[in-house]
Structure 1
Amino acid sequence: MADHQKIHPVAHDVEAPPAPTAPLVPRGASKSDQGDPAVVRQGHYPPFQRTIPVMHSKPPKRRSCCCKCLCWTISLLLLLVILIGATVGILFLVFRPKLPKFSVDKLEITQFNLNNSDDTLNATFDVTITATNPNKKIGIYYEGGSQISGWYQNTQLCEGALPKFYQGHKNTTVLDLALTGQTQNATGLINALSQQRQETGNIPLGLKVNQPVKIKLGSLKLFTVKFRVRCTLIVDDLAANNQITISSSSCKFRLRL
């Protein structure tokens, strides 16, 4: 008798499509546009993430404007300095400026008396000064408001002023000036002068000149500047109505804007 054939059920359906052994997209990896079917079927969706664009802050415009203004200001100042330097250099080459020269040629004392009643010294000096303009293309206008004074150490003895005049090119002008003054409490001054003459045989005097002038370059008249002259004299005496001998004289000249 033939053996009965036994049919055992097969757990695997031959006609069914083969089940995937592994997910198409591993967990944690990027998914397709359809999403994870398993997650969708279970009603879970991936968390919504909002992308915020990164904003880069710009530097404030005020600082940029300040930097530009500062750069422009510095550039303009440098340009101005260069232009002034070039102008001065050209003028120097064209006109060849030279400082004027001063010399004290003569000194006469017509009054130098001490008033014992009020201890006041009255002094009058007649000074002869020679002013020389050595420039060939520069003229000098001597303006009003000048001052010339005679000094012994730190004590002013007398003062006066230079006249207004124009000094042309390569010109020499001789000026006769009268200086007058009063000194209070002069007994100590007279004693110091007498002691100075006895010890050294001479008396040092100072002459100060402050003179406003205007320079003329060709036909152009410039702004006002000031001349400062400081002269040192060595004389033998300060007696009134006496021939005063100047043993040495030197003058220094300065220009002040």
Structure 2
Amino acid sequence: MSRHPKIHPDASSARPSAPLVPRAASRSEQGDPSKRTLTQRSTYAPLAPPRKRGRSCCCRCVCYTLCLLFLLVVAVGATIGILYLVLKPKLPDYSIDRLQLTQFALNQDSSLSTAFNVTITAKNPNEKIGIYYEDGIEITVWYNETKLSEGSLPKFYQGHENTTVIDVQMSGQSQDATGIMSTLEEQQQTTGNIPLRLRVDQPVRIKFGKLKLMEVRFLVRCGVFVDSLAANNVIKIQSSSCKFRLRL
């Protein structure tokens, strides 16, 4: 028995040439679903947060303030630098030229009475700056932590590159001075000198041209080594040195 070949229908001929459902039928009355989906998504898209204008204004104010402060600091620094270059300020110079002890006595109540005559030379080395020495200049003489005498400097004006010699009378009284006397005698025998300290606290005003600046204070600390503390005798100053510090 012979087999007859099977004939398969052509796939291309079985495929419909037109869609079974019209494309318009897949659309709803509201239009294309794909377009409706995009429209719905765009409707519910998140909005950008509103800008806070108050915070931005505060930031600008802070920035402007900082810039102004910076410019002010730069301007003040530049002014000080220019004045320093023009005026070339120098600290005044002090020296203890003469020290005379006119009284040095231990009283019956163990107190020590002292009196000094001090000659001080003050120099103003500045070419364009004058110095006003105001009232309230105090000078004291110390041995270790004991204040022996005190006095005050006169009020005066010192011009440019001027040297002024000042005589100051000082006096004082120290309580419970028995130990001080024994320490002084022992130190003089051991080292051959006695260390004293002079302190000067002086309010001054600086002047250049016609401008007179605010009051400042010079603190002067002088270390003086003398050969002895003999009453009614000019004390020999073996060495002395002074340091300065400015206090506003």
Please say if 1:22 is aligned against 2:14: no
3-state SS, counterpart of residue 55 of structure 1: coil
Q: Is the alpha carbon distance of 1:81 and 1:110 closer, same or farther for their aligned partners in structure 2, counting shifts above 3 Å?
A: same
Aligned equivalents of 2:182 and 2:154: distance in 1?
A: 35
- Alignment TM-score, normalising by the size of structure 2: 0.83
Aligned equivalent of 1:206, options 179, 197, 201: 197
Shift of 1:62: 3.9
Structure 2 equivalent of residue 133 of structure 1: 124
Matched, 1:220 2:219: no
Residue pairs, 1:91-170, within 5 angstroms: 91-116=83-108, 118-170=109-161
Between the aligned partners of 2:170 and 2:98, the Cα distance in structure 1 is 13
1:165 positional shift = 0.3
| Structure 1 unaligned regions, length at least 5 | 1-18, 37-45
Q: Deviations over 1:190-235 (max 9, x none)?
A: 1111111111010000001110100001111111111111101000
State the identity %. Answer: 59
After superposition, the CA RMSD in angstroms is 2.4
Higher helix share: 2
Q: Structure 1 residues 53 and 21, CA, compared in 2 at 3 Å: closer, same or farther?
A: closer
Note the C-alpha offset of 1:100.
Answer: 0.6
**Paired AA for residue 106 in structure 1:** R
Distance 2:61 2:110 in 1: 67
Alignment partners' CA distance in 1, 2:179 and 2:52: 74
Amino acid at match of 1:170: E
- Superposed displacement of residue 253, structure 1: 1.7
**Correspondences of 1:53-64 after superposition (within 5 Å):** 54-64=46-56
CA 1:76 to 1:34, structure 2 compared with 1: closer, same or farther past 3 Å?
Answer: closer
SS at match of 1:56: coil
Letter in 2 for 1:103: S
State the secondary structure of the residue aligned to 2:182. Answer: helix
1:114 to 1:34, Cα distance in 2 relative to 1, 3 A: closer
TM, length-normalised to structure 1: 0.81
Structure 2 alignment gaps of length 5 or more: 1-17
Report how far residue 20 of structure 1 moved: 5.6
CA-CA distance at 1:59 after TM superposition: 4.8
In structure 2, what is the Cα distance between the partners aligned to 1:66 and 1:217? 44
Q: Secondary structure of the residue that 2:154 maps to in structure 1?
A: coil
Q: CA deviation at 1:179?
A: 1.2
Report whether the alignment pairs 1:179 with 2:178. Answer: no
Q: 1:67 aligns with which of 44, 59, 64?
A: 59
Aligned residue pairs total 226
Letter in 2 for 1:168: G
Report SS of the residue matched to 1:141: strand
